[in-house]
Each structure stands twice: as structure tokens, then as C-alpha cells.
Amino acid sequence: MTTNIQSILDQLGVKANNAAFSTGSSWGGDANAESLESFSPVDGKLIASTKVATTGDYQQVIETAQVAFADWRTVPAPKRGDIVRQFGDALRANKEALGTLVSYEMGKSLQEGFGEVQEMIDICDFAVGLSRQLYGLTMHSERPNHRMYEQWHPLGIVGIISAFNFPVAVWSWNAALALVCGNVCIWKPSEKTPLTAVACQHIIAQVLKENEVAEGVCSLILGDRTVGEVMTNDSRVPLISATGSTRMGKEVAATVGARLGKTLLELGGNNAIIISEHADLDMSLIGAVFGAVGTAGQRCTSTRRLIIQESVYDVFKEKLVKAYDQLRIGDPLDQNNHVGPLIDKDAVTAYLDSIQKCKTEGGNFVVEGGVLTGDHYSSGYYVKPCIAEVKNDFKIVQHETFAPILYLIKYKTLDEAIALQNGVPQGLSSAIMTLNLREAELFLSAKGSDCGIANVNIGTSGAEIGGAFGGEKETGGGRESGSDAWRAYMRRQTNTINYSNTLPLAQGIKFDL
């Protein structure tokens, strides 16, 4: 394993060094600064280390980005799109290596690691087309011989703060769109997964260098939350896109809002699947199990709750228990395994605490949890996916635990099921399994799911880049990726042109001199 991973690190240009930041192909950092070490949750081994950025490092990155923006915004959007296309091609060439590193550093299955890189490729393809479609509207003026229209301009520097669970894909969602819109980017990745970020920076920096793009268009800065706090307080960064917990998002929103900056927030989820009596139960089982145990329950779209109609409750519960008995837990680089480790010790502690709180509130575990031990689980971060029968108003059920804990809730009527689905503070992803057209349409109507994502006959987890991704309530309200999410990275400007030889005022106001 170590030799294989080392060869992958070499291929991607990742090595132990004193670098704490990059403004492109240039790397820097204080050799005496604190080390940022990355340990794999797969086996607990040290992969490599970098450095934590200093305040001086941050100032160098931001000043370089400011200079770069002045030029980058003048590059025609289709040309910017072509550079992003080349980045997508570079990702294709490095998909296996980068996907493997994602799996090893973060702990998700190898197939999910490859899938994450594919998401990056897909958003690059989307952004290339978008670079020729940054449309504004033309409006009719009430004044004669006047023309009104709107156009969109880049904001400037986009600060991207990403989480460990999707260590590279969410950055690319933001960066690909921000770049074609004419912005420059500064990426602060999770301190738990710095090496995948370093690898991505090497890949995109090479593309930018080949196109003779100036330093500072796409920058990386490593460190803990202190670095993120400096960036969120910086008025030179007009947009902060942050992915993480609701607690973190509230702090970012308050800080950036105080300086009247913009935020794009992707926060917690507490996602439910409604299992109707009209559902295809075998198909529903696949969606429910993958949604609950994929990435060891560490997706913001992970399925936390199953709301099951009482007439099929016992049958479906039995199917779930049998399916969980067949789950293979272990090294995520072994494609025979379904479930890998949690990210670290804190995640294991949160998992165990949630199980205990659920039991204290009266939860009945039909599949027990626990931490796995033995040679195959040497990191200590492997846990058993578990299932508990609960009530929706349990405090622990209202809370998002980033772990493979699935809650079962029984319902009688669809109106009751929808109320249960909506009855949590978060509003990211939701789904209903039903072959009844009326149920499906009601779930998708204004009286149905209150989430940003609502699916029929697929699970809550996984999203295509063509649609805008994000949620409501404590999920933060942000939208990334497809549809018109690009508008978050630009400022709207309304233009009125008077081509007459008089100056009439709007609303018929007279002002004669």
C-alpha cells in the first residue's frame, strides 16, 4: 500500500515539503511554521506533511490575486472556458491517480473517489459551454429612443472553503464556474485533506502555465480554521463560498454579512426518504442503503431518516437488516468493500455519542453499532453502520451526525410523512419512493418537500452537475454547480443608453432649466 500510494503522490507532484501556499506554479511558506500532517484514516499512517500558512503568506496570496484579476477579467470568456476545458482534460489523464489519493486520504470507497474526479471533469465540461452563455436580458424602455439591458461582470476574488468529505469536487464546482465568469480563486481546503488539494493545484497550475496565465488566478492556501477566518474577514474577497457544518456557516455568514460581502453556503443535511406502500421495495432498498452507508455516512446528502408507511414497515425493515448483514467494511481501496472508515477520532466519538443519546431518548436499535477492532481496522476509525427505530422529534434525530446511523420512522398518511420529512432544521435533499403519480407530484409540489433537492424513485445521495445543488433553512440557501448557479459569482449591471437628442426622465418627471 505505502509503495503504491507513494508512486501516486509522485505522479501527482505531491511531496513532503515546506510549502503552505501556491499562487499557481509558484509555492512558498515559512520553513519554521507549524507542520500540517495528513494521516490516512484507512490505516492511520502519515501520508505526507506540508506547512500552515502565516499571515504574511496570506497577504502574499491575496495581493497576487488582486493583480491577476485585473488581467484575467479582460480575457474573453470563451478563452477562459477553453482553459477550463484543458483543466478537465488534465483531470481525465489523472483520474485514476487522483481518485485513489482521494480514497486514501479521505477514506471513501475507491469507486466514490473515481466518481468525485468525474464530477470535476463534468463541471469543467459544463463550464466550457457556459463560457459562451453568460447572458443578460434586454428590456424595453418607457422613454423614447432609449435602450435598456443588463450584463454580468465578475466579482473579483472568490474565496473557497471546502470540507473533507468531498475534498476536491466541491472546489471544482466553484472554481470552474468562477474562472469562466472572470474571477480569480483562493482555495482554503480542509486541514484534514490537504494533499488532494495540493495535487489539484499542481494539475491546474500546469494548465495555466501552458496558457501563459499570470500567477494568482488560481491560488491555494493551507492551514486550520484561522486561515479561513482571516479570509472571511477580508473585504478584498467579495464572495466566500463555504462548505461545512451549520455552526461554521452561521459564523461565516455573520462575519461576511457584517462587511456586506456575499456568501454561498452549503451546510448540513438531515435527509429523508419516504417509502410509500406503492414503492418498488427492492429498488428502494438500494437507494436507502447506499444513501445511508456511502462514504460511511459522511455526505451532506447522506440518508439519515427513512419514513416508512406502516403497511410495509416490517417488510422493509427486514430487508434492511438483511442488507446490512451483507455489508463489507474495510480498506476502501479494496473494491470488494462497501464501507470505509470515518475521517478521524473525533468523528468516531461523535458516532458513539449519537448512539448513546439515541438509546437514552428511547431509540430501539435493530442493527447495533460499534467500533471495529483488529488488524484490518488498525486506524481505529472503522465503525458498524447501524439502524434505530425512533421518533422524529428526538433531539438526536433533529441533529446531523456525520456517520452511518440510519433512523426508521413509521407513518400512516402521505401528509404526515411530508410533515415528518420537513420537520427538521435542515433542508438539503429529500426523496420519495412510489409508483403512484399523485404521491410523486404532491411530494414535488409547493405542499411537498421543503428541500433544495427533491427526488422521486432515487435516493437522497448523489447529484448531477447539470442541476443547481444546495438547500434551504439551516443548509444555508446556497446553490452551486449547474442551472444558473453561475450568477452567484457575478455582479449584475443594468445599462440604459439614450440615443435621442433630448433627456427625458423616467416616470414622466419634468425638470426644465
CB atoms within 10 A of CB 501: 6
In angstroms, the CA 61 to CA 65 distance is 6
Read out DSSP for 250-294? HHHHHHHHHTT-EEEEE----EEEEE-TTS-HHHHHHHHHHHHHG
- The answer to whether the beta carbons of residues 405 and 358 sit under 8 Å apart is yes
In angstroms, the CA 409 to CA 89 distance is 46
In angstroms, the CA 372 to CA 341 distance is 10
Smallest Cα–Cα separation from 219: which of 201, 240, 236? 201
For 370-415, give the secondary structure using H, E and C. Answer: CECCCHHHCCCCCECCEEEECCCCCHHHHCCCCCCEEEEEEECCHH
DSSP conformational letter for 44: -
Phi and psi torsions of 151, nearest 5°: -135, 165
In angstroms, the CA 465 to CA 486 distance is 12
Which contacts qualify for 136-141: CB closer than 8 Å, 24 or more apart? 136/492, 141/496
Q: Which are the catalytic amino acids?
A: 266
C-alpha radius of gyration, the chain, whole number: 24
Provide, for the chain, the percentages of residues in helix, strand and coil under a 3-state DSSP scheme, each rounded to the nearest 5: 40, 20, 40
Grid cell, residue 299, equals 455526505
